[in-house]
Structure 1
Amino acid sequence: MVHFVGAGSGAPDLITLRGKKFLEEADVVIYAGSLVNPQLLEYTKENCEIYNSAKMTLEEVLDVIFAAEEKGLTTVRLHTGDPSLYGAIREQMDVLEEKNIAFDYCPGVSSFCGAASALNLEYTLPDVSQSVIITRMEGRTPVPEKESIQSFAAHHATMVVFLSTGMLEELSRRLIEGGYTADTPAAIVYKATWEDQKTFVCTVGTLAQTAKENNITKTALMIIGDVVAHSHYNRSELYNPAFTTEFREATE
């Protein structure tokens, strides 16, 4: 059996109870060493075989899984955050399906959730933004043309940008070209929920300058939109005494 497990955003106690249980029971763990907090490996049993996939190819990862399966062992494939975002899990699952190897998937706390917690931020403020766009800049790996930063910026929704810390000048240019103003609120969150977490509130126009001044070159998320300022939003109707819900009648 293979368990794909989301490690959470960084803090070792932000893994799910289910994910922790899988780690405790695993005979083999293959973890994304470039981003997963190594403290999570302390949950494994003494004789667990541990592999760092940052130094491995897909084929090498699969070979470890195949060998474990031949021995009747249980494998945990430990990915950062929630593996459904930039986790490269589908390509592994496809091969396992072809080989008739059983697997399941345990979700985790994504770093975009960890970044919101670091800023005490709500992404969806009434009458400010009710949508969150999660995307990245193209670097060595491409992004479909239909998903350009400019096209997303035109919506003026909340935007969370992964994997783009080294391209902030270009990110700002594209955000402004798409419709955000240079003074639109923005934030940089470095290593959300880790012990060395850092947060910086700035603007779209000062993203690159802020990162440079604080020596932030990788492992950060950028949050774009008026929700960062969390001002001028309307009260939620959910708890409005004048609003009737399925569970409560209006009292005003």
Structure 2
Amino acid sequence: MTVYFIGAGPGAADLITVRGRDIIERCPVCLYAGSLVPQGVIDFAPEGALIKDTAPMNLDEIVADMVEAHKKGQDIARVHSGDPCLYGSIAEQMRRLDEEGIDYEVVPGVSAYAAASAEIQKELTLPDISQTIILTRTSMKSSAMPNNEDLKTLGSSGATLAIHLSVRNLKHIEETLTPFYGEDCPVVVAYRVTWPDQMIIRGTLKNIREKVREAKITRTALILVGHVLAEHSDFTDSKLYDPDFVHVLRLGKDKKKAQEVEREANTPGGTD
């Protein structure tokens, strides 16, 4: 018997991985986060499966269902939204399963920041602009941020930020990040990205709070902040497809240099 922690993706039922879908289709028990997982994903469960929405349940109740299924030898599809590795609350479940001696596996899913990037058709890492993405949140009602993970410290990097669980904290975000990014820095708020009622709100650190207030968004939204979100036409091309950039899979016209690259790649500790 195994508990499978499955990332259902950001919302659209067809953004679940093939592996995740296949596991749901064969599990006799499906426990899912009803407020965040679309019905289309749960519809993959087999006929006659025990399907329970865990939104109103506490940790003890969820684990009790897992223990009961374990006694019956029934695999469980434990379906979470997005990717379970980000704010998935699976660590405490896995700890309890370890105590119970119950096996589990984790199946990754499409995270909201990746889905939002696809919806707005923006690459979040551009040469000379940003080569780092920081996934974070701000302190509100949930657990406090550890030392050195406050927004001021992270924002001082100038990296692209994907801020989760913080749409009601936009005043703090604006005030904290403006000194580092400037008030005209682009901001995107993606509400229920890939769901039928998705909203994409574009603005700047100066005006995004007012735009979100007008849209009456108070939850289930991701905030992207960074200069990569601007309309760029003059950024430097990456080296990946540069005709003069030689690597082991594209040796180019310079045979001597190509031989050096190939020899380095085949040397223990060499680079590819």
So what's the TM-score if we normalise by structure 1? Answer: 0.96
Letter in 1 for 2:248: E
Distance 2:71 2:123 in 1: 47
Matched residue, 1:242 = 244
**Deviation (angstroms), 1:48:** 0.8
SS in structure 2 of the partner of residue 114 of structure 1? helix
Matched residue, 1:211 = 212
Distance 1:54 1:190 in 2: 20
Question: Does 2:217 correspond to 1:223?
Answer: no
**Deviation readout 1:97-132 (Å, 9 max, x if unpaired):** 121111111100011111101101111111110000
- Please give the residue correspondences for 1:70-149 in structure 2 after superposition, counting only pairs within 5 Å: 70-141=71-142, 142-149=144-151
**Deviation (angstroms), 1:251:** 5.3
**Structure ID, larger Rg:** 2
Letter in 2 for 1:75: I
Matched residue, 1:8 = 9
SS in structure 2 of the partner of residue 54 of structure 1? coil
SS in structure 2 of the partner of residue 29 of structure 1? strand
Letter in 1 for 2:58: T
- Say whether the 8 Å CA contact 1:238–1:245 is kept in structure 2: no
Letter in 2 for 1:244: V
Distance 1:205 1:59 in 2: 44
Letter in 2 for 1:197: Q
Distance 1:233 1:200 in 2: 24
Number of aligned residues: 251
- Say whether the 8 Å CA contact 2:202–2:208 is kept in structure 1: no
Letter in 1 for 2:166: S
**Deviation (angstroms), 1:27:** 1.0
**Deviation (angstroms), 1:59:** 0.6
**Deviation (angstroms), 1:143:** 1.2
**Deviation (angstroms), 1:230:** 4.2
Matched residue, 1:22 = 23
Distance 1:205 1:50 in 2: 45
| Closer/same/farther in 2, CA of residues 214 and 251 from structure 1, 3 Å limit | farther
Name structure 1 gaps, 5 residues minimum. none
Letter in 1 for 2:147: E
Matched residue, 2:267 = none
Would you identify which runs of 4 or more consecutive aligned residues in structure 1 move more than 6 Å? none
- Say whether the 8 Å CA contact 1:118–1:189 is kept in structure 2: no
Distance 1:117 1:99 in 2: 40
SS in structure 2 of the partner of residue 173 of structure 1? helix
Distance 1:149 1:34 in 2: 28
- Say whether the 8 Å CA contact 1:114–1:192 is kept in structure 2: yes
**Deviation (angstroms), 1:180:** 1.9
Matched residue, 2:54 = 53
So what's the TM-score if we normalise by structure 2? Answer: 0.89
Distance 2:28 2:202 in 1: 43
Distance 2:205 2:147 in 1: 22
**Deviation readout 1:209-246 (Å, 9 max, x if unpaired):** 11012222211111000110141421111001111122
**Deviation (angstroms), 1:19:** 0.2
Matched residue, 2:41 = 40
Name structure 2 gaps, 5 residues minimum. 255-272
**Deviation readout 1:189-215 (Å, 9 max, x if unpaired):** 111111221212211121211101222
SS in structure 2 of the partner of residue 145 of structure 1? coil
Distance 2:3 2:251 in 1: 49
- Say whether the 8 Å CA contact 2:6–2:108 is kept in structure 1: yes
